Amino acid sequence: MDSLALHMRIGLALPQYDYSVPGERPLTFETLLAHARTAERVGFESLWLSDHLFLDLAKYGGTDRREACYEPIVTLSALARSVPRVRLGTLVLLEALRPATVLAKALATVDRVAGGRLDVGLGAGWYEPDYEAIGFSMPSPGERLARLREAVEVVTAMLAGGPVDYDGVYQRASGAEPWPRPLQEPRPRVFVGGKGDRLLRLVARHADGWNTCWTWTFDAYRERLDVLARECEAIGRDPASVWRTLGLYALCGENEADLRRRYARLQERSPGILDGVDLDTYRKGRLVGTVEEVQAQADEWAGLGVETLVVGAGAVPFQVGALDDVEMLAAALQI
């Protein structure tokens, strides 16, 4: 197949939460590792973890029970020696949980442990219980973005080697250096996750790349690209220089009958999340279809400049409905 998607890198959102693998609670590290090894074996080029202290699924139609999760920086470091070929990334780190200087030091260490394979995603935060758990009132959107901008500036400067002097409203640094430096030259890429106009302005001015996820139509994504292009052009930056990563829920079948079987299984394994949602509805804004349909969709995303597509092989973030769904997606996307 002569496909644009062949030039797009494909990543997997790993199971990370106690809800992530049906029938297993608590999630064991051995299961998380098995998924990472399978993903590497079948050809995925990157593996991703998110950043919460815990998470509930009320936002997605599930319960408000708080689900435990693996801390991403520690876990990526643990994975680095067991999955030696794939890139490793954060989707995305919550600014409020760590001082930027301490975060940069940890990320530099992970990049060195991993042999120079780390991609860094940072975010402003959206889950209020994370803030409550650290005794911190969730700031306004404007303040969260201001805090994120300062964190991006400090982290990128330190990952480049430092020393960094920074006197911000929310972040401080005095001669800060990561010691030892990350292996990647000139440094690991730093991208920002989100979708609002002010967020895209921050991307254009301060970040290497942009991520958004988990449900997007082509038209809605094009509209955001137009905003990003305007923000880049306002400061003389080539919009093509912004590394674009996109996360999408994904499900693929060998044919329509197989797709419907897999979707029924995902419904069964996602209690409350997909109740009353038929497959035709579920397709909208997701990477869902037969092999040919998924390939065509991936081509269109590649045509919009998406360089890394991160698939979520479940109904909620960082869930994997079944390992054979992961394998089927790998085969369809010819990775």
E strand or H helix that includes residue 62: none
Strand 172-176 relative to strand 164-167, pairing: antiparallel
Catalytic residue of the set 24, 128, 233, 300? 128
Q: Is 128 an annotated catalytic residue? A: yes
Name the catalytic one among 35, 40, 52, 231. 52
Q: In whole angstroms, what separates CA 97 from the centre of its chain?
A: 17
Of 121, 119, 122, 123, nearest to 46 (Cα)? 119
Q: Is 287 left (phi over 0), alpha (psi -120 to 50) or beta?
A: beta
- H/E element, 267: helix 256-268
Please work out, in degrees rounded to the nearest 5, the angle formed at the alpha carbon of residue 169 by the alpha carbons of 165 and 171: 50
Residue type, 40: E
Residue 11 tokens read as 């990543």
- Gap between the Cα atoms of 151 and 134, Å rounded: 18
| Phi and psi, residue 268, nearest 5° | -65, -35
φ/ψ bin of 116: left (φ > 0), alpha (ψ from -120 to 50), beta (otherwise): left
Cα–Cα distance for residue pair 296/285, rounded to 1 Å: 14
* CA dist., res. 249 & res. 62, Å (int): 17
Per the annotation, the verdict on 268 as an active-site residue is no
Cα gap 204→149, rounded to integer Å: 11
Catalytic residues: 52, 128
